Structures are given as structure tokens and as C-alpha cells.
Amino acid sequence: MNRTPACTPTDSIRLLVADDQALVRGALAALLELEPDIDVVGAAADGEEALRLAVALTPDVCLMDIQMPGIDGIEATRRLREASPATRVLIVTTFARPGYLRDALEAGASGFMVKDAPAEQLADAVRRTHAGLRVLDPALAEKSLFEGANPLSDRERQVLRLAADGRSAAAIAAEVFLSAGTVRNHLSAAIGKTGAGNRAQAVRVAQDKGWI
């Protein structure tokens, strides 16, 4: 990745870090604070707190995790971009899944990186995001291109998420206010679209690809 020229101390990049794991959140903040042109102005433990801090602090860039309790990073990105349009979002996650990349970009994220990227590369990604450039993990972007879009409907994604913990069709139906037969139809369609042999396999395939 080509390095973007660093900002001068008078126009340092104001960064918000959002990650539900305290150790990861602290490590990311500490690493990026070492950069002379990056100023970590806040740290959030979940999507709700990220939204509150973004509105209160108006950071230039928010480093956003995906899997967080309550509002996940994708939905938090969508809401943050509406509430604080001046703040750009860079997704940084452990889960390098093509479906997550597509969802993040559709939600308004400016970039998508994996957490095992070197610290120098991550800092440069923050700079490029601040400069208005699109920052994508190249291997994941290529994989996303070849795998295509998420084939599951919103309802199929919903019932698959609920089926992930072993709930019966009747239990899922009671939660989403559908008949058990309709839920079974959605599960059957999801199984077919994922190429799985049963609902448990469909859940695994969908999770691996970042579709749910």
C-alpha cells in the first residue's frame, strides 16, 4: 500500500475507536496514538456508544469493529454516517468475510481492513480514509468480486440467524410473527441458496461468507 503523506501536527486526524474487546480497543488506540498525526479522541465498547461519541466529538475517522453487542458495526456505520456525516468509517475486523465487506460498503463505510494488518498499514489506512480514499483489503475485495452478492432475502437472513442457536421452526415463528410453515419455507429456500444439506450447514455457510 502506498503511504499517504502525514498530516502536520496542527491538522492531526481525530480518531474514534469502537471495539467491544477492551484489550483490542486499548491496543489499537495505543498503537495509533504513537503516530504523530493521529489523535485518538474517544473509545467505544459497542455500537450505541460509538454513535453517542461520534455525535458528541465529531471525529474525522471512526475505526469500527463489526461483531459487537447490541448494534453491530454494520448498522452502527449506517446510523453514524447519518448522524455525523463528516465522520468517515473504516471497518477493522477479525472476520474477513466477503459478505461483511459488501454490507459495510453499502452502509457507508469508506474502507475495510482485517485486524492482523501491520500497524503501519493500519495507520496509513486511517490517513487514506481521512483523505477521502477507498481503502479495501485487496485479497478480500477480490474474493468478494468473484463470490457475488448475498443471495439471501432479508427474511431468510433473519430466520437463519435465529436458527443458529438450534431453535425450532415453531420458536422462530413465534419471534418473527410468522407461521411455522412459512418459517420452514424460508429455511428451505436458504438451504437451497447456500448449497447446504440442512439448516445447520446453511447457517455455517452463511456465517462463513458473512451473509448473516
Which segment of 135-144, 155-164, 178-187 scores lowest on mean pLDDT?
135-144
92 and 193 share a domain?
A: no
Host domain of residue 174? 154-209
C-alpha 18/C-alpha 88 separation (Å) is: 13
Instruction: Report which of residues 40 and 196 the model is more confident about.
Output: 40
59 within domain boundaries: yes
CATH number at residue 130: 3.40.50.2300
b/e code 124-139 from CB counts within 10 Å (16+ = b): bbbbbbbeeeebbbee
Most confident region among 84-98, 116-130, 135-149 by mean pLDDT: 116-130
Q: Is residue 87 part of a domain?
A: yes
Which of 96, 126, 144 is the last residue in one of the domains? 144
Residue listed under C-alpha cell 438451504: 191
Do 51 and 121 reside in the same domain of the chain? Answer: yes
Residues 104 and 72 in one domain: yes
Q: Give the CATH number, domain containing residue 190.
A: 1.10.10.10
The string of pLDDT tens digits covering residues 32-43 is 999 999 999 999
Strand partners, 91: 64, 112
Cell output for 33: 496514538
Residue 125 in contact with residue 4, Cβ under 8 Å?
A: no
Question: Is residue 138 included in any domain, yes or no?
Answer: yes
Q: Does the residue 4 lie in any domain?
A: no
The predicted pLDDT at position 143 comes to: 57
**Which residues are 18's β-sheet partners?**
44, 64
Whether 102 shows a pLDDT value over 70: the answer reads yes
Q: What is the DSSP string of the chain?
A: -PPPPPPPGGGPEEEEEE-S-HHHHHHHHHHHHTSTTEEEEEEESSHHHHHHHHHHH--SEEEE-SS-SSS-HHHHHHHHHHH-TT-EEEEEES---HHHHHHHHHHT-SEEEETTS-HHHHHHHHHHHHTT--EE-HHHHHHHHHH-S----HHHHHHHHHHTTT--HHHHHHHHT--HHHHHHHHHHHHHHHT-SSHHHHHHHHHHHT--
Q: Per the domain annotation, does 2 fall within a domain?
A: no
Domain end, chosen from 100, 126, 144, is at 144
Average pLDDT, the chain: 86
Q: What is the mean pLDDT of residues 161-181?
A: 90
Does 92 lie in the same domain as 48? Answer: yes
Q: Are residues 132 and 33 in the same domain?
A: yes
Q: Are 158 and 97 in the same domain?
A: no
Which pLDDT does position 49 carry in this prediction? 96
- What total of structural domains would you count in the chain? 2
Exposed/middle/buried for residue 6 (C-beta within 10 Å: 0-12, 13-18, 19+): middle
CA–CA distance, 21 with 90 (Å, rounded to integer): 17
139 with 166, same domain: the answer is: no
- Whether residue 174 is found in the same domain as residue 120: no
Q: Are residues 68 and 165 in the same domain?
A: no
Verify that 128 and 205 share a domain, yes or no: no
Q: Are residues 28 and 56 in the same domain?
A: yes
Among 126, 144, 162, residue at a domain's last position:
144
